[in-house]
Amino acid sequence: MDSRNGEKFWNVPNMITLTRAALVPVFAVMLLQNRAFGALLIIFLAGLSDVLDGFAARKWHQRTKAGTLIDPLADKFLLSTAYILLAVRSLGFVYVIPLWLTAAVVARDLIILAGGVVIFLVRGRRDFPPSWLGKLSTIMQVATAFWVVLSNYVRVSALGEMSFLSGLTSPSVLGAFYKATLILTAVSGANYIYNGVRTTFFPNYRLIRIPAYKTTVRLLRSLPVCPKPKVVGLSNIPKDGPVIYVYNHVTTRVEPVFLALAAPYRPEVRFFVDIKVTRPEIFDLTHTDVKNSLFSTGLQEKWGHHALRQKILEKASRLVTLYVMGCMRRCNFIPVYVHDPPSPEEEVRRRRINREAFKECVRCLETGIPVAIAPSGGYTHRGAKRSTVPTTLPSLAEALKKRGKTLQIIPSIVKERPPVCHGTYKRYVADRILPYRLFRLLLDRLKIKRYGRPRLTVEFLPPITYPHSDSNKDEKIQFVQHLQKIMLDVLHKD
């Protein structure tokens, strides 16, 4: 007999499961007649069949939807029968399962059954895979029922004279089984209820999320995990209208983080980010950047001579890369293609990605969402070797002017004294810890050890606007170079 979807019902795993279900009435008769040994044998056979049907389904690839349904039903039928009958004192058992534990086990099974019906009616789902908590709870319930029956058999048989078995089946041991079973039953039941409600009524909800932009900024401002900048010129930021932050590159890496910590987080700032950080197909390039950021060149060379250390370094950097790329994909960044394309096909792709990024940036600015960008490509630090001057910034200003809005450009100067790098990062973080800072200042005052306190400042200059509405490329380049000169003069004036 085949099911409608082509799955064969009468296979070996399903027949083993049905045999286990057929043993339940026999098990009930054994308990009603107070035949502990027969009940003990049936529980053992039922547990063995539960292992065998799962093994057969995996070994011979005979998993069916009907099997995944009748297997847990057979288990619950057996357990409910065991817990209900073993709780009846009038059957003559020396040891009985407490009523509160029987009520908890049966109530959990009824709740799961009712929840399955609701999920089927609301979502049409027929498959209900068990959780690891549910499996652990079922194992504990079977073990408890088995131990109660074993304890009763040992008590009435000659085995009770053996001190070893008598100790293992004592009331204190059974009490431990009862408490452990109650805890696992309650926890697994709560887990099933939570998962059922979430998947049925809130399918897109996740209990654990990547922190939101506002939460991330607050955490970084509060916890000493990264350098915290001193903010200057916060009043220069306009309260309304399209605003774009233009920041300088010093280390070419972490200035966007410092700007996010300094700027207002309402509304949240959207940052341009290199496409290689957000797209998995360029994982190797990102992995190289992350590895060079985490580990110094000397450490990489030193560990490269040892196979195990090299493997640890690679695994650690790949794990961090996966996490960073996952966070970037979840965050509300604007990906742009800033590196040189290696082929004509990549050039076409670069133009498409940057065109989409430009449109997205205009949409954000038009709706009052601030955007942060390095002066047209980020090549403003002194070590830059690129000779071309991209004109994204004036093009954005012109696009908004055509829509009747004036773009407020906020030069944002990130000053690092000394520059943030591998050697100075710990100094910046330690300086945020008040006891450490006071201790170092005391040593400095006592002239025991000089303390050159690291200084990180983000200075917001008064806003400027682009004066043209329909300019040529030379005028745009001239404006960008003028903006870069203003920022570099402020950066190096002290």
Q: Where are the domains of the chain?
A: 12-201, 213-262+338-491
Check whether 201 has a pLDDT greater than 80: no
Comparing 421 with 346, which gets the higher pLDDT?
A: 346
Mean pLDDT of the chain: 81
Q: What is the Cβ-side half-sphere exposure of residue 279, based on CA atoms within 13 angstroms?
A: 14
Q: CA 34 to CA 56: how far, in whole Å?
A: 34
Mean local confidence (pLDDT), 386-412: 84
**Hey, what amino acid is at 286?**
T
Check whether 254 has a pLDDT greater than 50: yes
User: How would you list the strands of the sheet with 270-274, edge to edge?
Assistant: 230-232, 455-460, 408-417, 243-247, 371-373, 270-274, 334-336
Check whether 16 has a pLDDT greater than 60: yes
pLDDT at 182: 93
pLDDT at 203: 62
- Calculate what percentage of the chain has a pLDDT beyond 70: 84
DSSP code, position 420: P
SS3 472: coil
Mean local confidence (pLDDT), 205-229: 71
pLDDT at 380: 43
Comparing 424 with 124, which gets the higher pLDDT?
A: 424
Which pLDDT band, with edges at 50, 70 and 90, does 385 fall under? very low
Fold of 12-201: Four Helix Bundle (Hemerythrin (Met), subunit A) (1.20.120)
pTM comes to 0.54
pLDDT at 379: 44
Check whether 33 has a pLDDT greater than 60: yes
Check whether 161 has a pLDDT greater than 70: no
Which of 211-225, 355-369, 417-431: highest mean pLDDT? 355-369
SS3 35: coil
Check whether 103 has a pLDDT greater than 90: yes
- Calculate what percentage of the chain has a pLDDT beyond 90: 14
pLDDT at 173: 87
**Hey, what amino acid is at 202?**
F
> Among the residues of 202-267, which ranges form H helices?
213-222, 255-262
pLDDT at 477: 87
Least confident of 6-15, 16-25, 93-102: 6-15
Which pLDDT band, with edges at 50, 70 and 90, does 463 fall under? very high
SS3 244: strand
pLDDT at 388: 54
pLDDT at 234: 92
Per-residue pLDDT tens digits for 63-94: 777 777 788 888 888 888 989 998 888 888 88
Q: CA 417 to CA 3: how far, in whole Å?
A: 74
pLDDT at 460: 94
Q: CA 195 to CA 187: how far, in whole Å?
A: 12
Per-residue pLDDT tens digits for 88-98: 888 888 889 99
Which sign, positive or negative, has the C-alpha torsion 166, 170, 176, 177?
A: positive
Which pLDDT band, with edges at 50, 70 and 90, does 44 fall under? confident
Least confident of 178-187, 351-360, 423-432: 423-432
pLDDT at 382: 45
Per-residue pLDDT tens digits for 360-378: 999 999 998 999 887 644 4
Mean local confidence (pLDDT), 320-344: 73
pLDDT at 208: 43
Per-residue pLDDT tens digits for 271-317: 887 776 566 556 776 777 777 767 777 888 888 888 888 888 888 88
Beta strands in 156-242 (DSSP E): 230-232
pLDDT at 378: 41
Mean local confidence (pLDDT), 391-420: 89
Check whether 448 has a pLDDT greater than 50: yes
Torsions phi, psi for 382 (to 5 deg): -65, -25
Check whether 237 has a pLDDT greater than 90: yes
Least confident of 88-92, 476-480, 482-486, 490-494: 490-494
Length of the chain: 494
Residue 469: C-alpha distances to residues 273, 362, 397, 411, 480 (Å): 27, 15, 8, 20, 15
